[in-house]
Structure 1
Amino acid sequence: MTTIHSWMNNRWAIPAASGALIIAALVILQLGTIDLLGNILMVAAAVVAGAHIVITAARALWARVIGIDLLVAVAAIGAVVIGQYWEAAAVTFLFAIGHALETATLNKTRSALAELVAVAPDVAITLRDGEQVEVAATAVILGETVLIKNGAKVPVDGEVIGGAGALDEASITGESMPVEKVTGDRVFAGTVARSGFLQVRATGVGADTTLARIIHRVEDAQDTKAKTQVFMDRFSAWYTPAILVLAIVVGLFTQDIVLALTLLVIGCPGALVISIPVSIVAGIGRAAKDGILIKGGEFLETSAKITAVAVDKTGTLTIGRPRVTDVVVLNPDLTRSDVLGWAGRAEAGSEHPLSRAILDAARSESLDVAGLPEATEPVPGKGIVVTTRGHRVLIGNPALLVQYPIIDAYAATLAATALAEAGRTPMIVVLDDTVAGVIGVADEVRADAAQMVSDLHAAGVKRVVMLTGDAPLVANAVAAVTGVDEVRASLLPEDKLDVVVALQAEGYVVAMVGDGVNDAPALATANIGVAMGAAGSAVAVETADIALMGDNLLKLPEAISLARRTVNNMRQNIAIALITVTLLLLGVLLGGVTMSIGMLVHEASVLIVIVNAMRLLRRHGGVSSAPHTNTTTPPATRSTDRGLTPATIRPDRAATTTTTTGGTP
């Protein structure tokens, strides 16, 4: 009984039963013994295949919607009434096959969503009262410790509190290489442990995990209509009744009922109706596989028109973590380690934002910077004066040296100026009364930033503008590395918004890329707002028009390229549908195209449209997918133990610089 019920619910059950009845009818009619039985079987085939069509048409008509099913239902019933049993059976049988194939292939285009659901973990191993307990993934309590063993799926979002291992995060970020995890790192539900053993404190469970939010977002996005699809829906609402009227007029004028019924079948706009949504579903599904979340069809369509990209510098083009790039030694009696070590001991008691970079650099070179200074005196706007281990250490800008009798202050000022021109933040280090050296600190440019700009131009973007609150010298150094077309420096958050508005006023379709609160006004104003590194950020996933789940900048040109390919695919599908319907209508009116042949060609056009859309599911090689690793920090100076050698900056692309005063770095 269960087998029969399962078979009846199979999408191929109705076409199979109808096909069997048609074959039996054809055999009997061919033998020429009992034509009545053959005709009865042919009508039965039409009823089996057409019952669902008639029911669907009646429901739609009750809701005041004239759809494709109504055209087929009227044509099939009319064919039976006038004795065209074969035509009635063939039309309903072909329509049933087309519907089954359409369902199967549409499910294929939604494969990305199905794969996301499939990676959702079912169970978790938690530590409760010191014992390992296996529970449902949804039963994990916030704050509990979850154990992740090699080969297991991570069941929760959380923070590593013990152990080490590598996780495959392809389901979240789209990256194929496993990511090493140690204490303090974040992990996401649905990722898979490839090595090691992790202890994770749960910070997100069930519907609050990043994976659950992604699945919800993709579901909504695939159902959201593009502007073109809305237009096509309105067009179909008028087109279908027009075909009904045309069939009636032709039937009355020619007195040929078969011709009128054939027009009903041929005029079905099936391929036209499905041409756009199938492309949108496939395009958004492909993007989700690659760690790119697109809010819906409308935003996918708009993304295909992007001609200008405004990019925030800090945290987007750069990593957002300043580091020591240069240690210039000016005292011949000292070494690089001496300069960095004294600076680290002095900065141990400082609250300056760049002190962390100096301390990290000193510790990475195993220098002794433990403990706190005996005394620390901040000099607002200039630096700090510190007493540590019996020595006075000054760290600051050239203005700090004016207040103290310092030997070789002029050389320190020259070195600091050279570093500033190179885009570094210079910090002069003075030991007692003698300049020890100058340390340059800079935010590290992402390895793939230059490749992203190149790929954006290759994807059809005409203008890439860098926006930053940093000083022009620093901004220009980053521009020299990344090759952006234009630099806007010293900007306040409202200034970034003004830049976006100005670009739009010039006729550009603007995408704004950012990751901070200060980017929010510009992100909201841009035609497309893009959030970077959205994995784990519920706000970014829900509010951004496009959310790049990982920190790979190359996903941005990949998203724009995919949007353009999706829109081109939509246009191809519309052309296929319209050409097919036009040729079939001409074939019917001029003679030669029967009802069954017309339905066969019509269903073939539907499948062609779907198969064409499925091409979007393949990974495209049009833009780079791997990070470009040739450049990391602005290549402006060389660090030596004895002096500074400036290097000439020769950017491949000259960047236009615009400075707005009043900004803050």
Structure 2
Amino acid sequence: MSSARTWLGGRWAVSAISGTLIVAALVVGRLAADSVWGDVLMIAAAVVAGTPVVIQAWRSLTAKVIGIDLLVSVAAIGAVLLGNYWEAAAVTFLFAIGHALENATLTRTRSALAELIAVAPDVATVMRDGRQVEVPAHTVATGETVLVKNGTKVPVDGIVIGGTGAVDEASITGESIPVEKLDGDQVFAGTISTGGFLQIEATGVGADTTLARIIHRVEEAQDAKAPTAQFMDRFSAWYTPAIIVLAIVLGAITRNVTLALTLLVIACPGALVISIPVSIVAGIGRGAKDGILIKGGEYLETSAKIDVVAVDKTGTLTEGRPYLTDVVTLPGTADAPALTDDEVLTLAARAEAGSEHPLAQPIVDAAVERGLDVHDLPEHTQPVPGKGIIATIDGHRIAVGNLALGATVAEHNGASSRDWAGTPAHEQAAAVVADLAAHGRTPMVVARDSHPVGVVAVADRLRSDAPEMVARLHDSGVSKVVMLTGDIEPVARAVADQVGIDEVRAGLLPEGKLDAVTALQRAGHTVAMVGDGVNDAPALATADIGVAMGAAGTGVAIETADIALMKDDLLKLPAAISLAKRTVANMRQNIVIALFTVGLLMVGVLFGGVTMAIGMLVHELSVLVVIVNAMRLMRPRRIAWHHDDNADRPAARPGTARPGRRFPLRHVQHVGD
């Protein structure tokens, strides 16, 4: 009984019953001399299929909306009153089938969301009072220890505190290759252990997990209307009443009510109305499967127009983990003998031990790695904003910073900055600084008691996929990639040359990046800004599209970014822009299909040959064509990028930092000997 009730409530029940009655009517009409019973069955078929349509039309009217259901209802009722029972039954039957197929295919376009919901874990194994206890996943408390065994789902967001294992993170990042997890690594709810045994400290549970945020974002995004969809809604609000008026006028002029009713049927804008939402749902769903979260249809359409991409250097084009590349010793004098490279590095490391600057730690780490004694802290430290640091070590004033810092030390020692700038040592230091900066390093002069004794340099490792990202952006239709960085001009230029960046704007504070984005917009560009979200926040907010990378572990980024790339993968950016362009192209194709079908049917009605039933059949077929066309977006796409990695790109200079290399890439014992 329950199965029968379930079937009757299913999407295909109305079509099946109506179709059976139509077949019975045709059989009875053939066999019986009297066609009354055949007419009765046809009317019954029209009533079964048409009742839901009439109910929906009435509900729309009470909400002051004139929709497609009203056109079909008027046409079907009119056909019955005129005695065209076959036309009434055929129109309502075909409309019911089209509605059921439409629902079924729309459900498939939302499959990404359904799959995300399906991977949400139900149970978790936690340690309580020294025992393993299986509990509902949403009841796990923050801070509890959760056990994840081979083949099971990770039930919470958390940090690995014991064990090792491999985890399939495809549901979060879109990458199918399992990721090794060790102590301190982050894991996400909904991912699957493919080997090993993990102990996890829960940091996010239930609605606070990354998976829950993704599901919420995809739900909102798929329901959000794009500007084109909003225009179509406004268009339909005027189009449908206009068709009713046109049908009335046509019927009055021709005195052919059947022709007027047929016009109502074939002019239904069903394919037109659904053409935009189905593409948006499919495009956003495809992006979610690939680890690309797009905020909604509006941002999808805007992303398709992007012609300039602005990127930060540190942490975006580079790994954000600087390391020591060079130690250069400078010649001494009679009063100040030259130091060895280890002595220069020791002085720099001891001075930087009291600094909070991000470039200080790589110098200290390098000295420790060499086995140098840098444990004794300086007696006094004085950070000089924008220049470096001055420290007192063993009675000597040690300065580590840019060339301007040396002048500051000289003035402290009673000399003039002009005297400092004119010394041979300063000129040699300036030459080394210029050379290192030209190679993409950040140089720092080491001075002892106003005398420069050496130069140390650090560099950030360039991401291996940064050049390919830029090439793919150009292949995707982006005309210009701009670097916005706070680093000095020579270093920024050197990195840009290696990556293939079109334009460099260096030495920028956060406000400067904001001004740069605004200037690009004023020039008529649609700008996407990619950054790490802290010092880039103003520019990210101002750009037409703000892109957050590696957002899987950042709930705020998932909720606020226009595009959130779940994996810290530069190649996801051109993939997102390509997806947006394909989705918008798909929307336009659907609009053309819908308008062409309606135009063709109208010509057929006016010049004869298209009946009400044929018109409804073609109309429903056009709806299905539109949906199937949109579903092409759901297929995984392997893009063959055609570009010459070396074309139009300056070759890296000898000695340029390469990913994975440890210091020193180049080691100069003395300069000027």
> What are the superposed Cα offsets for residues 310-348 of structure 1, whole Å, 9 maximum, x if unpaired?
2122222222221223345779x9998887678657755
* Counterpart residue number, 2:358: 353
Partner residue of 1:506 out of 514, 517, 523: 523
Partner residue of 2:571 out of 526, 548, 554: 554
What amino acid maps onto 2:225 in structure 1?
K
Does the 8 Å contact 1:349/1:372 carry over to 2? Answer: no
Distance 2:52 2:397 in 1: 90
What amino acid maps onto 2:50 in structure 1?
G
Distance 2:624 2:343 in 1: 73
> What are the superposed Cα offsets for residues 535-564 of structure 1, whole Å, 9 maximum, x if unpaired?
122221122111112211111111111111
Q: Does 2:599 correspond to 1:596? A: no
Does the 8 Å contact 1:449/1:553 carry over to 2? Answer: yes
Offset at residue 427 of structure 1 (A): 4.0
* Counterpart residue number, 2:301: 301
Distance 1:298 1:165 in 2: 40
* Counterpart residue number, 1:151: 151
> What are the superposed Cα offsets for residues 602-641 of structure 1, whole Å, 9 maximum, x if unpaired?
000000000001111122334669xx99x9x976526244
Q: Does 2:655 correspond to 1:637? A: yes
* Counterpart residue number, 1:654: none
Q: Does 2:484 correspond to 1:473? A: no
What amino acid maps onto 1:421 in structure 2?
A
Offset at residue 411 of structure 1 (A): 6.0
Does the 8 Å contact 1:283/1:563 carry over to 2? Answer: yes
What amino acid maps onto 1:165 in structure 2?
G
* Counterpart residue number, 1:239: 239
Q: Provide closer, same or farther for how the CA distance between residues 391 and 496 of structure 1 changes in structure 2, counting only shifts above 3 A.
A: closer
Distance 2:320 2:214 in 1: 26
For 1:21-100, list aligned pairs within 5 A. 21-100=21-100
Distance 2:629 2:505 in 1: 43
* Counterpart residue number, 1:182: 182
Does the 8 Å contact 1:423/1:636 carry over to 2? Answer: no
> What are the superposed Cα offsets for residues 382-418 of structure 1, whole Å, 9 maximum, x if unpaired?
5455769x99998555665986999988766644442
> What are the superposed Cα offsets for residues 101-129 of structure 1, whole Å, 9 maximum, x if unpaired?
10010011111111111111111111111
Q: Does 2:587 correspond to 1:582? A: no
Partner residue of 1:373 out of 352, 373, 376: 376
Distance 1:415 1:209 in 2: 51
Distance 1:470 1:437 in 2: 22
What amino acid maps onto 2:294 in structure 1?
I
Does the 8 Å contact 1:397/1:427 carry over to 2? Answer: yes
Q: What secondary structure is seen at the aligned counterpart in 2 of 1:353?
A: coil
Distance 1:63 1:410 in 2: 81
* Counterpart residue number, 2:507: 490
Q: What secondary structure is seen at the aligned counterpart in 1 of 2:552?
A: coil
* Counterpart residue number, 2:417: none
For 1:555-574, list aligned pairs within 5 A. 555-574=572-591
Q: What secondary structure is seen at the aligned counterpart in 2 of 1:637?
A: coil
Single out whichever of 334-343 and 253-262 deviates more from structure 2: 334-343
For 1:224-623, list aligned pairs within 5 A. 224-328=224-328, 347-348=352-353, 350-361=355-366, 367-368=370-371, 372-373=375-376, 375-378=378-381, 380=384, 381=387, 383=389, 414-427=431-444, 438-622=455-639
How many residue pairs match? The answer is 639
Distance 1:335 1:46 in 2: 97
Q: Provide closer, same or farther for how the CA distance between residues 508 and 147 of structure 1 changes in structure 2, counting only shifts above 3 A.
A: same
What amino acid maps onto 2:591 in structure 1?
I
Distance 2:499 2:169 in 1: 27
* Counterpart residue number, 1:658: none
Structure 2: segments with no counterpart, 5+ residues = 332-337, 414-419, 657-664
Distance 2:366 2:507 in 1: 28
TM-score (norm 1): 0.88
Does the 8 Å contact 1:471/1:490 carry over to 2? Answer: yes
Distance 1:32 1:55 in 2: 34
Distance 1:511 1:586 in 2: 45
Does the 8 Å contact 1:566/1:616 carry over to 2? Answer: yes
Single out whichever of 302-311 and 100-109 deviates more from structure 2: 302-311
Distance 2:401 2:517 in 1: 36
Distance 1:500 1:561 in 2: 22
Distance 1:277 1:147 in 2: 42
Distance 2:456 2:103 in 1: 65
Q: Provide closer, same or farther for how the CA distance between residues 370 and 178 of structure 1 changes in structure 2, counting only shifts above 3 A.
A: farther
Does the 8 Å contact 1:383/1:397 carry over to 2? Answer: no
Q: What secondary structure is seen at the aligned counterpart in 1 of 2:293?
A: strand
Does the 8 Å contact 1:345/1:369 carry over to 2? Answer: no
Does the 8 Å contact 2:165/2:197 carry over to 1? Answer: yes
TM-score (norm 2): 0.87
Distance 2:313 2:206 in 1: 35
Offset at residue 498 of structure 1 (A): 1.3
What amino acid maps onto 1:612 in structure 2?
N
Q: What secondary structure is seen at the aligned counterpart in 2 of 1:518?
A: coil
Q: What secondary structure is seen at the aligned counterpart in 2 of 1:487?
A: strand
What amino acid maps onto 1:147 in structure 2?
L
Q: What secondary structure is seen at the aligned counterpart in 1 of 2:323?
A: strand
Offset at residue 353 of structure 1 (A): 2.5
Offset at residue 291 of structure 1 (A): 1.1
Distance 2:162 2:347 in 1: 34
Does the 8 Å contact 2:359/2:458 carry over to 1? Answer: yes
Does the 8 Å contact 1:415/1:644 carry over to 2? Answer: no
Does the 8 Å contact 2:483/2:501 carry over to 1? Answer: yes
Does the 8 Å contact 2:156/2:205 carry over to 1? Answer: yes
Identity among equivalent positions (%) equals 65
- RMSD of aligned alpha carbons: 3.3
Distance 1:208 1:558 in 2: 28
Single out whichever of 352-361 and 556-565 deviates more from structure 2: 352-361
Single out whichever of 172-181 and 393-402 deviates more from structure 2: 393-402
Distance 2:494 2:44 in 1: 78
What amino acid maps onto 2:472 in structure 1?
D
Distance 1:611 1:336 in 2: 68
Offset at residue 507 of structure 1 (A): 1.0
Single out whichever of 322-331 and 311-320 deviates more from structure 2: 322-331
